[in-house]
Structure 1
Amino acid sequence: MSPMPSNLYPISRELWEQVVTIFQYFPLVAAIQLFVSYYPAGKTSIESRLNLPGKQAWISMEVPGFMVVLYCLVSIPSKNAEITSSISECVTFAWNNLPIENIILAALFVIHYIYRAIIGPLLNPSMSPIHISIWISAIIFQLMNGISIGGFLAGYGPAITADMTKSAILPGSNKSQVDWLQIASRWRRELGIFIWALGFATNIYHDEVLRDIRRPIKKEGVNPEEAEKHKIGSLGQEKIGKQISGKEKHCVNKLYKIPQKGLFQFILFPHYLCEWIEWSGWWIAGGSLFFPARTFLINEITTMLPRAIQGRNWYIERFGKEHLAGRRAIIPGLL
C-alpha cells in the first residue's frame, strides 16, 4: 500500500494556502445558479439513472467537511511536534497545545455538522434523490472548506486568542486601555457564540417545521383528496396520485404545503437565513482575523441565495402567487 502523499499528512501549509486562495473564488461558480434553474436535488430532483438515494447521498457528501477539520486539528500540531506514536497521544497533544478559542470554534463547527450531516437526514421522514453531480460538487465544497477552516484552527492561521487585541494596542498604551481591549475581545467572542447558538437553534426549529409536514405521509402516503385539500398547485390531483401510488420510478412520496410556523409566516426559506445568522455569529466569535469563517459565510450566502430565489419561483408555480400571502424568499419584506 502506497504511503499518503506528504502534503496530505498532515495537510501542508502550502496546500492549505492554495485551497484558501482558490476557495475565495467559489462565489463565481455559485453565481451560475442565478442563470440556470437546473438543480437535481430536493424539491427539484429529477428522474435519472445517476441519482443517489437521498439520505445516503446527503450524509456521505456532508460528513467530509467536519472530518477534515478534526483531522487537521489532530495531525498538524502533532506532526509539527514530531509526535507519531498513537492517535490518542496526537489528540492529547492537540488538546493541550491548541488555544482554547480554536478548540471552541472547531467544536461549534463540528456540532453543527453532526446535526446537519447525520442527525438531520436521519430525522427526515423522506429525502428526494440527489443527482451525482450535486453529490460530487458538495464533496468538493466540504473538502475545501474543511481544509481552509481546519488548517487555520490547527495553527496555520494567525492567533485568534485574546492576545490578538495587542495588535491594536499602540506603544505607550496604559494598562486600562489594554484591559478594556481584552474585555471587548471577550465580549465579542461571547456575543458571537450567542448569535451562533441562536442561529443553530432556530435552524433546527424550522427544519422540524418542515419535517412535521412530511411525517403524516411517511407510512401510507396521502390520497389525492388530501393533496387537493392542501393545495398542491400545478402538480394536480392526477400527478399526485401517480406519485403516491408509485407508478413513476424514483419518486419520493411527498406532500408539499406552505409552512405556517415561525419565520415561515414571512419567508419561504427561514432555515437558510438562520444558518447565515449562525455562521455570522461564528465569524464574530473568531474575530476579524478568522478569514476562513468569512469566506465560508460568503460562500454559503452565494450558494443558498440563488436556491431560495428559484425556490420561491417553484412555490409560485405550484401554489400560485396569491397563496404565498406576500412571503418573500429569504429576507422578510425585501428578497
Structure 2
Amino acid sequence: MMETMYHTLLYAMPVLAVIVFIALFFVKAGYGIFQSRQWGISLPNKVGWVLMECPAFLMMLFFWLQSPARSSSVLLSFFLLFELHYFQRSFIFPMLMKGKSRMPIAITAMGVLFNVINTFLIGYDLFYLHASTYTEAWFTTPSFIGGCLLFFGGMGINLHADHIIRNLRPAGDTRHYLPQKGIYHYVTSGNYFGELVEWTGFALLTQSTAAWIFVLWTFANLAPRAYAIRNRYREEFGREAVGSRKCLIPYIF
C-alpha cells in the first residue's frame, strides 16, 4: 500500500507543480509582502511558520528511526542535511522574525500538506525503496561532492539573504525597502534563489527522483512569487531601481 501511494504521488506531483506554477501568476499568496485579509483567519507569522515547517522535520525523523537501514552512514548524511534545513526553518527562522505580520491558516494548512507529501516521498525513497543503493562508495562520487557544495552554498545564500531582509527596516518602521546588498545586488529574491540552489544540491547528492520532484516544486512555487515581488518593487521603487541590478536569472529573479 505504501509503495502504491508513493508511485501515485510521484506521478501526480509534477502535474500539480505545473498547475501551481501557472496559478501563482494569477493568485498571490496572502502573507509576507502580500499579506491580505482576503485569505481569511490568520495566525501570528511565527506560529504559522513553525506549524507549517515542523511536520517535515518530525516526519523525516520518524522515517529515519523506523528504517532498517538507518545504520548506513550515507543515509545518515542525507538525514542530517534534510533535518539541518528544516530545523533552521522550523525553529530558528521564525524566532528571528521581526514585526507583527500574520499568516492565513489556509496558507499554513497548504504548507503542512505539501511538506507531509514531500517528506513522505523523499523519506520513503531514500530509507526504504532504494536504501541498498547507497554504499560507502557514494561519498566519493562527483554527484555527492558537487551536491554538498551546492547544498551548503545555497543554504549560505539563503541565510545571508534572510539576514539582509530582516535588517532593512528601522525599529517601528512598516514601509517596504528595496534590498541591494549581497546576493540582492544580483537577484531580486535572493532568499528564493538560495533555496532553489540548496535543494538542487540535495537532489544531486542523493540522485533521488523524489528529491528532483521537490526541486521542480521549489521552482514552481518560488519563481512566480519572485516575479510578483519584482513587479511590486518596480511599482514602489521604479523600473530602473529594480532592473539595473545584474540578474543571474533575468526577469524572474
Shift of 1:30: 1.3
Contact 1:76 1:155 in 2 (8 A): yes
Amino acid aligned to 2:234: I
Shift of 1:21: 2.9
1:324 and 2:239 matched: no
- Partner residue in 2 for 1:207: 162
Contact 2:35 2:102 in 1 (8 A): yes
Any unmatched runs of 5+ in structure 1?
Answer: 1-6, 78-93, 164-181, 223-253
Contact 2:196 2:215 in 1 (8 A): yes
Among 44, 47, 52, the residue aligned to 2:37: 47
Shift of 1:146: 0.8
Shift of 1:189: 1.1
SS in 2 for 1:61: helix
Shift of 1:278: 1.0
Matches of 2:91 and 2:115, distance apart in 1: 14
Among 13, 16, 29, the residue aligned to 2:6: 16
Among 101, 116, 138, the residue aligned to 2:89: 116
Q: Deviations over 1:71-117 (max 9, x none)?
A: 1122243xxxxxxxxxxxxxxxx543xx3222211110110011112
1:137-176 paired onto structure 2 within 5 Å? 137-157=110-130, 159-162=132-135
- Partner residue in 2 for 1:107: 80
1:61 and 2:55 matched: no
SS in 1 for 2:177: coil
- Partner residue in 2 for 1:239: none
Q: Deviations over 1:177-213 (max 9, x none)?
A: xxxxx69953331221122111111210111011111
More helix by share: 2
- Partner residue in 1 for 2:204: 284
Q: Deviations over 1:275-320 (max 9, x none)?
A: 1111111111113xx1111000011001100000011111112222
- Partner residue in 2 for 1:194: 149
RMSD over aligned Cα atoms:
2.3
SS in 1 for 2:222: helix
Give 1 or 2 for the bigger CA radius of gyration. Answer: 1
**Cα distance change on mapping 1:28 and 1:63 into 2, 3 Å:** same
Q: Deviations over 1:48-72 (max 9, x none)?
A: 5512211101110111112111111
Contact 2:74 2:139 in 1 (8 A): no
Give the % identical residues.
24
Contact 1:39 1:45 in 2 (8 A): yes
- Partner residue in 2 for 1:81: none
Contact 1:69 1:146 in 2 (8 A): yes
Matches of 1:258 and 1:70, distance apart in 2: 38
Any unmatched runs of 5+ in structure 2?
Answer: none
TM-score, with structure 1 as normaliser: 0.69
Shift of 1:153: 1.8
Q: Deviations over 1:226-278 (max 9, x none)?
A: xxxxxxxxxxxxxxxxxxxxxxxxxxxx2311112112112210111111111
Shift of 1:325: 4.7
